[in-house]
Structure formats: C-alpha cells, structure tokens
Structure 1
Amino acid sequence: MQAQDVHVLKSAALPTAAVGVVAVVAALLLAGGKGALGAAMGMLLVAVFFGVTLVAVGFASRVSPHVMGAVAMGTYLVKVVAVMLVLAVFRDTTLWDFRAFAWSIVVGTLVWTGFEARAFLKTKMLYVDPEVTVAETRER
C-alpha cells in the first residue's frame, strides 16, 4: 500500500471505530447485551467491507487505472452480494438485536464514507503523470 492509502484508511477507520464504540454503548443501553452485540457486528461488517475495498483498490492502482477501476467495481459487486447474503442468513437470528445491527451498518457506512471522502479531498495527489504529459507534449 502506498502512504496515501494508509492515510486514507486511518482517516476513515479511526472515526468509524469511535462511532462504533458509541453505537455499541447506545445499543447496550437501549436493547441490552443483544443490542450491543448487534451494533458491534454491524460495525465490524462495515470496517471489514470498506477496509478490504480500500486495500484492494490501493494495490490495483499500482498496476493501472483500468485494473483499479475493475477492482473497485468488482469489490462493490461482491460487497452488495455479501451484504444481501448476510442479511438473508441472519434474518431470523436471535443472537443479536437486528435493529441495532442494521442501524450500526447505516451509521458506520455514512461515517466511513464521509471521512474517506474527506481524506481523499485533503490528499495532495497528482491527477496526471507529469512525465507522460511532458513526453506527449514534445511528440506533438
């Protein structure tokens, strides 16, 4: 992973973890132990899904922009299918409170996405490769 990818990962993961702690405590107070477990499982799902995508896209960006785009779309598709499967498999679970689980996924997703976008906006990255641009300009 490149340094900027690590920065983005930390910038999104740390606030999400902090919100996750708040979600677990709130769910514990509102729904008891099963609520806390549901909130923890939801936040874990968010962290794993978004973390895996960020790492995979970071590694793919080293290969080429085309591969990076394909990996981003592929991981998105896998995440959507995986979330549907998780929700279908655990639809009738009594292990945790399903509402706490669902709300923690929604809140975790919003927090992760917001802080990830913020980190990307603050990261100073070149949009073009200066060496390629200069070489192409000279050829014309």
Structure 2
Amino acid sequence: MLRSSFLPSAIVGLVCAAVFLAVRGVAGGLSALFGAALALGFFASGLLVLRTLRNLNPMAIMAAAMAVFFGQIIVLGLILVAARRVDSLDGPATGITVAVVVVAWQIFQVRSFMRTRQLVYDPEAGGDGVGT
C-alpha cells in the first residue's frame, strides 16, 4: 500500500509545486515542495511503523496505530510551529499543497486497500459459518 500511495501522491505534490512556482514564484514552489514532503512524510512514516507491527494481534495493532498517530500529530505540530518562524515560507502554497496531497494519498490508499485480498473471517476457526 505504501508504494501504491506514495508514488502517485508524490507526483501530485510535484504538480502542485510546479503550479505554485508558476503562479507565486520561487517561494511558492519551494513552499509547495515543503508541504508535499510534510504530507508524504506524515503518512509514509505511519505506514512504515505499522508494517513492522502487522503480526501482532488486532488489539495490539489498534493500540499501536493510535500511539503512532498521536506521535505523528505531535511531530507535525512541532514542525508547523517551527515553520511559522520561516518568513520566506508561503503559507497558502504550503497549506493548499498539503491538503491536495492528503486527499490524493487517501484516494490511492483506499484504492490500494480495496485491491488487496483481506480475509473477513478466520479460516482456522473451523465451523461451517452457519449458526456459529
């Protein structure tokens, strides 16, 4: 899922950077690249960490997912606080690019997930599935 989401979202981020470079100049283009890198790093880091935990039981995975997301939000907040102090950062270019890349990532991640073959039952549980 990481590859299926990362590559198209990175391309979307590059397109946003090219558009903002043309519309708002070098500061807009670089700010859009920063926004794309921020969004891509946020989602990719979460998937990479959770991929290492995929063999745990579902309850542990859910707890780990919540902890990873909480950590990501804290790091993202710290980065955004630090980024506010950079005068050359174009806020609208960064924000719009982050939003567009996030939407693209979600679309491609859902598309990728729907193409995977996920079991919806436990094949080792036995039984015929009727009345059990």
- Taking the aligned partners of 1:65 and 1:59, their CA distance within structure 2 comes to 14
The equivalent of 1:129 in structure 2 is 122
Q: Distance in 2 between matches of 1:100 and 1:10?
A: 25
Residue in 2 that maps onto 1:55? 48
Question: TM-score, length-normalised on structure 2?
Answer: 0.88
**Distance apart, 1:28 and its partner CA:** 0.2
Q: How many residues are aligned here?
A: 129
Q: Is the 8 A contact 2:53 2:61 kept in 1?
A: yes
Residue deviations 1:53-104 (CA, integer Å, cap 9, x gap): 1111122121221221112111211222222222222113123212111111
Q: Which piece of structure 1 moves more, 12-21 or 89-98?
A: 89-98
* Alpha-carbon distance between aligned partners in 1 of 2:120 and 2:52, rounded to the nearest angstrom: 17
8 Å Cα contact 2:39/2:102 also seen in 1? yes
Question: 1:83-137 CA distances to partner (integer Å, 9 max, x unpaired)?
Answer: 2222222113123212111111111111101110111112111133311x118x8
Q: 1:21 aligns with which of 14, 32, 44?
A: 14
Separation in 1, partners of 2:83, 2:13: 20
* Percent of paired sites with the same residue: 29
Question: Superposition pairs for residues 94-105 of structure 1, below 5 Å?
Answer: 94-105=87-98
Which letter does structure 2 place at the counterpart of 1:55?
Answer: L
Q: Which runs of 5+ in 2 are unaligned?
A: none
Amino acid at match of 1:134: G
* Counterpart Cα distance in 2 of 1:55 and 1:127: 23
Aligned-pair CA distance for 1:23 = 0.5
Structure 1 segments, 4+ long, off by >6 Å, are: none
Q: Aligned-residue CA RMSD in angstroms? A: 1.7
Q: State the secondary structure of the residue aligned to 1:94.
A: coil
Please name the residue that 1:69 is paired with: 62
Q: Give the letter for the 1:52 counterpart.
A: S
* CA contact 2:42–2:76 (8 Å) conserved in 1: no
Matched, 1:88 2:81: yes
After TM superposition, the score normalised by the length of structure 1 is 0.84
The structure richer in helix per residue is 1
5+ residue gaps in structure 1? 1-7
